[in-house]
Chain A
Amino acid sequence: MEQSIVTFLERILPDATSIVVEDFQQIAGGFSRETFKCEARVTRGSTEEVMPLILRKDPPDVEAILHTDRSVEHNLIESLRLRTTIPVSQSYGYEMDPKPFGQPAMIIERASGSGQTSALFNGGADEDQAESVIKHLCEVLVELHKCPINKIDPDGALTDPFGRGIKIESWDIFMDSTIEFFESSYKSLNYDPVMIILLDAVYTLRRNKPRAMPLSIVHGDFNPANFLYENGQVSALIDWEASRVGDPREDLGWMVLMDVYSNTHVMDYPKKEGGFLAYYNKLTGNDITPEELGYFMLFGTMEIAVPVQQFVARRVHKEFTLLLPLYVAQTSMAVLPAMAQAMGYMGVSA
């Protein structure tokens, strides 16, 4: 694998006279991709530079939670890096040929900053940074949502990047085609009757569509584990593989759920601005209500739940033998009460 990285870097750094890859190791997290880190010692003439790198590699098809495309992710990251001020790690390129790395892969800069975002909350070591970090996080999200779609995605690659049959001619068409995708996917994830809560969510979403809002590029997995921070600022928003065109309220709704699930408090900050939603509304003028947030918590959950539960279903049907989906089945149970609450089940506490 190290030699494949050297060969890859030689292609994108033709002036390098020597490239040595060190400390190559697989890292935890990033369940949807296999993630490795290393450092490349690059010599150009008499100067030497150390490049901290991340290699993100596709898993085998049957073991993939979400079927995403490394070239699309690369183009998006570079578009964000070059056309906006959203902090992202530079993507150095991708390799779609499975030969060098065993599967399609991409190599990106390992951004500086801490990914231990739980340290910002609950008396953690970096709680003094929470106010400014989350304020910046909100500003970053607003920039993403306010940026014209064709500026970030001029080729339309993010219209329906996962081949779900999503259409974006209007907000209504987007919502209807997405809910239709949820419904048509249900059979493939229904490995146990307990999945009825997801079925209820599909129908509830269809019967209770809120007001329309202009579509935008959404991160698609905006949660407390997907940003790095240092010196009171977000140093990188990471894991862009689920990004696509969507309703901006999806990112907020998913964060609401994941905040509860992760025992973090992103949505409570910046406190001086009355919390994340209040500050977001102030910056955008969108005046998103808590009820809309509840709707999109459910909607955003379904966007993630469909591929995740399909992944579990394939494991239950023994299409592959990884342990991860059994763990995912256990941990994903924790979101069910929040989904029930969003649908108005009686007696669920806030």
Chain B
Amino acid sequence: MMTKPMVDDLLEGLLIALENEIIPFISSPKAQSTGLMMQSIIQEIRQILPVFDTHIAIEHNQMTQVLRDMSATLDGVTGAEADRIRDRAKSLGTRADVVVPADQIPIRESHRELGFALQDNMTDLDVLQRAGETKADAALQILRTHLLPRLVHDVETLTVGAGVAGRG
């Protein structure tokens, strides 16, 4: 996968395009209003995406703890309501904590460094190949064998349909 442009770069690009390339040319007040709503929602998505999975995991683990704590606080209280709260603590409140996703920024930076290292290897292999070192051919094949499924995966993930907008 590419680490640049990132999803946030694409969303920012949509916002800027709406601002500069679309909204100024819309004559319908209703369509203009929809354009502004789209900008607002795209900005919301930009704010949600980086934190969504982390917040959901943290809140998940906090809620199981809260279920248990509430149940404990009602220790000695009788009645159907208190029993139901204790039941929830025993069922849902005992679910195992989920893993909070790692911070993606250092992972992406490391991914980029490794990717550029493979590029440097390719450059060095080319020199060896042109010098007649046949083992360099085999080493290049290892790299290409690694790259091929990534390319296929990237194309499947990133491209949308066939053809190019605005072409015949």
A residues near B (Cβ < 8 Å) are 28-31, 115-118, 190-197, 199-200, 203, 206-207, 224-225, 261-263, 315-316, 321-323, 326-327, 329-331, 333-334, 336-337, 340, 343-348
Contacts and interface: CB of A to CB of B under 8 A. Distances in A.
Given A321-B20, A323-B17, A346-B144, A331 B164 contact: yes
B63 to A, nearest CB: 38
Interface of B: 1-5, 9-10, 13-14, 16-17, 20-21, 111-112, 114-116, 118-119, 122-123, 126, 129-130, 141, 144-145, 147-148, 151-152, 154-155, 158-160, 162-168
Contact of A31 (B3, B16, B21, B166): B166
B168 A118 contact: yes
A28 B145 CA distance: 40
Given A190-B119, A193-B115, A340 B2 contact: no
Contact of B21 (A190, A206, A323, A331): A323
Given A203-B126, A224-B168, 8 more contacts: A193-B3, A194-B1, A199-B122, A206-B130, A225-B167, A261-B162, A329-B2, A337-B151
Contacts of B5: 191, 315-316, 326, 329
B158 A333 contact: yes
Contacts of A340: 144, 147-148, 151
B2 A192 contact: yes
9 contacts: A29-B167, A192-B2, A203-B129, A207-B126, A207-B129, A331-B159, A337-B152, A343-B144, A346-B144
Chain B interface SS verdict (over half): helix
Contacts of B129: 203, 207
